[in-house]
Structure 1
Amino acid sequence: MKAQPGWVEASRRLSPYLDPAIGIVAAVFALASLLSTDPGTIDPRLAEPNILSAVATLAAAGALAWRRRRPVASYAVMVAGALVVSLTDHYIGLLSVLSLFSLYSLAAHGQRRDALVGLGAGVACFGGLALLDVPDLGLSDLLQALALLTAAWAIGDAIRSRRQQQRDQLNAAVAEERLRIARDLHDVVAHSMSLIAVQAGVGAHVIRSDVPAAQRSLEIIADTARKALVQTRSMLGMLREETQDSARPPTHGLADLPALVDDVRAAGLDIELSRAPLPGLDAAVSLTAYRVIQESLTNVIKHSAASTAMVTVAAIDHMIDLEVIDPGPARTPSGTPSGHGLVGLAERVRLVGGAVEYGTHDAGFRVHATLPAGGTR
């Protein structure tokens, strides 16, 4: 995995200690604000600080220590402590600012419903205190407090929404990548196992009567298994977030079509390949075209009694035209291959902006796909 920048690693390590530090610092400054301010200069009705006001101030400000882990509880303690200080006619001091930070934390790190309830509770508390005519809360102070509460909630809610959107995008990207790897695994495993099954059957049939042919079947099985193992390891490496690209085999494409045809011919299926010169293709389109032909030929091996298949690759305007025809007949009563191969094939084609159709063709089966040469994902 790639090494993270030093500041990213440092912030990750310090993150568990950040909120407790904020709580401690906030409690110290809030208490200092309460004890060092002459309440008479603020409002003559304010009382001198006592034990109750000091404890309530410490508890309210210290609740920021769990503002992200328990945002609802943190905000509830903040509001309760601020109410105790205000209702006992003591100077609220720094708690008025810290309560805004607490509401922001609730909106940014809690559920939206809880944040709305918190905003409503804050508005109700200020409104109730104004009706009780507590010291140091005039009409202008009330309006300013309500505006600041709304702003704190709005900023926190915007950050929470943005963070949720980023998480959703990341989850969608991860799901798409895993789906792509699942398709690749299916294509590799299904194709390789089909070839191995055919060659194992041939080898078992001729092992006594034609030893060289049986040996050739075993060689094809070993070679196919090795290729499948290399590709499977590469895909599993992607799931483990291994980024050593040099250790991975190159992505397949239409340039690898002759090797694919040779592998299928070795399994006993003769391929009539018609391949026109193609323009430079987008790598994703080339891979998709390769997988379309690979899956189609795999289905011929698995489901058809035919001894030959026709593969046509042509360029029409700015499109790549692919056709694989299995003349049949099918080995089973149903002429439509089962499983997830064709479903994944259709998904692949749609992702690059192409179209695919498949179905019975005379006694056999036909797959036809058109892909944009440049790709329009």
Structure 2
Amino acid sequence: MLVTLGFFTLGTIIYAGGLDLALGRDDLPTPLWARLAILALGCLGTLVRRTAPALALVLVCGAVLLDLTRGLGVPVVMVFIDVLFVATLDGSRRLHRVLIGAVAVASLGVTLAVGVLNADWRESLNAGLQMFSLVVIPVWWATNVRQHRDSAEQLARIAELDRRAAVDAERARMARDLHDVVAGHLSAIAIQSEAVLSMPADSDTVRTVLRSVRENSLASLAEMRTMIDVLRADDPVDEPVTVRLADASRLVESARAGGLAVEYAADDVDGLPVAVDLAAYRILQESLTNALKHGADASVRVERQVRRLVLVVRNAVRTAGEGSGTGLVSMAERAHAVGGTFAAGPDGAEWVVRAELPL
């Protein structure tokens, strides 16, 4: 409304001052009311130039054609250029392509027509320059602005997709860590507690199992507290390493306290890369937890080779697993995150977990 009112007010002042003629004949006097009526028709186009750019172009082109019969006035030209620019900028892609083609054909056609009719190249050049300034420049300018805007929108869309991917990756990492901490320790606690209930109250084994339950509880609380501290940090920080494969003996002891017979053999694992060290520990932890739930007589072999660390866990299958499979997914994700490979499945009467992690 303000733009429309501004154009109409400025046009009225120009018409009143007699400075309105831009192109055409001035020997046909035109009443002021007629000029203002034509200008009002063009100004109607500015009201719908963004919501209905095609209709706006029809209205303003009609005003231009009517005004041209008596000499094209400056106010109508101003309105026409504004509507043409906005329609090219905010119109549909189809309208944008149509306007580019129409402007090119109209400019070339007028230039050639003037040259043929007047047989004067100077008149033809003058007509071409006028068409260039009236229609080509607004469309050209609006096209450049539109391309920059589309590029900015694409960059913003890409940035949003990257942000969502980062958030999803962080959620997956947090879910994996929570599963490893909570499921690993609490599953051991539940299994060991069940074993205690079936033992005589005064046996030494009960004390051993309860000691393991206490250690698992404290370890779980410590790791949960570490994760919470990382999440509460104002600035991004590296997650502290609270577990190492060199401490895997406590996992083995915890599994044994739960009633699982475990054979453990490992090479020297000091000085492993941090990511590989943590991934191997979590894979071993989850494997022993699954063996406690569904297996018996497990064996663990940790072999440190020149370029890779090989972890193999075998256990006899006692019961068919009814779990959700989250543990297997978590182990595979940890192995793949450090560029390693992971495989788990039955091998005869045994269930075998094999992870190869690069060093």
- Fold shared, TM-score > 0.5 on shorter chain: yes
Structure 1 residue 340 and structure 2 residue 326: aligned?
A: yes
* Match in the other structure for 1:198: 191
Name which of 116, 120, 132 aligns with 2:93: 116
| Counterpart residue identity of residue 344, structure 2 | Y
- Computing the radius of gyration from Cα coordinates, the structure with the larger value is 2
1:269 paired residue among 254, 260, 272: 260
Contact 1:323 1:368 in 2 (8 A): yes
Aligned counterparts of 1:115 and 1:277: Cα–Cα separation in 2: 68
Relative to structure 1, the CA distance from residue 285 to residue 136 in structure 2 (aligned partners, 3 Å threshold; closer, same or farther) is same
Structure 1 contact 43–136 (Cα < 8 Å) conserved: no
Equivalent residue for 1:354, pick from 323, 340, 347: 340
Worse overlay, 192-201 or 49-58: 49-58
- What secondary structure, in the 3-state scheme, does the structure 1 residue paired with 2:259 have? coil
CA change 1:103–1:58 in 2 (3 A) is closer
Contact 1:27 1:58 in 2 (8 A): yes
Deviations 1:58-98 (A, max 9, x none): 635xxxxxxxxxxxxx7334554465344323525377467
| d(CA) in 2 for partners of 1:223, 1:95 | 82
Change (3 A) 1:250 1:157: same
SS in 2 for 1:348: helix
Q: CA deviation at 1:319?
A: 1.2
Aligned match for 1:84, one of 46, 59, 68:
59
After superposition, the CA RMSD in angstroms is 4.4
Give the structure 2 partner of residue 303 of structure 1.
Answer: 294
Instruction: Return the alpha-carbon distance in structure 1 between the equivalents of residues 276 and 11 of structure 2.
Output: 69
Out of 310, 314, 320, the residue aligned to residue 321 of structure 1 is 310
Which secondary structure state, in structure 1, belongs to the residue aligned with residue 76 of structure 2? coil
Cα shift at 1:191: 1.3
Contact 2:189 2:213 in 1 (8 A): yes
Q: 1:303 is matched by which residue type in structure 2?
A: H
In the superposition, the TM-score normalised over structure 2's length comes to: 0.69
CA contact (8 A) 2:245 2:269 kept: no
2:163 to 157, 170, 173: 170
Corresponding residue for residue 119 of structure 2: none
Mapped to 2, the partners of 1:249 and 1:117 lie a distance apart of: 56
Query: Residues 118 and 82 of structure 1: is their aligned pair in 2 closer, same or farther, counting only changes over 3 Å?
Result: closer
- The count of corresponding residues between Structure 1 and Structure 2 is 321
Query: How far apart are the structure 2 equivalents of 1:129 and 1:139?
Result: 8
Alignment of 1:116-135 (within 5 A): 116-120=93-97, 122-123=99-100
Say whether the 8 Å CA contact 2:343–2:355 is kept in structure 1.
Answer: yes
Matches within 5 A, 1:164-243: 164-206=157-199, 208-210=200-202, 213-214=205-206, 217-218=209-210, 220-229=212-221, 231-232=223-224, 243=234
Q: 1:129 to 1:234 in 2, by over 3 A?
A: farther
Displacement of 1:349 in angstroms is: 1.4
- Say whether the 8 Å CA contact 2:42–2:79 is kept in structure 1: no
Q: Which runs of 5+ in 2 are unaligned?
A: 27-33, 65-74, 111-126
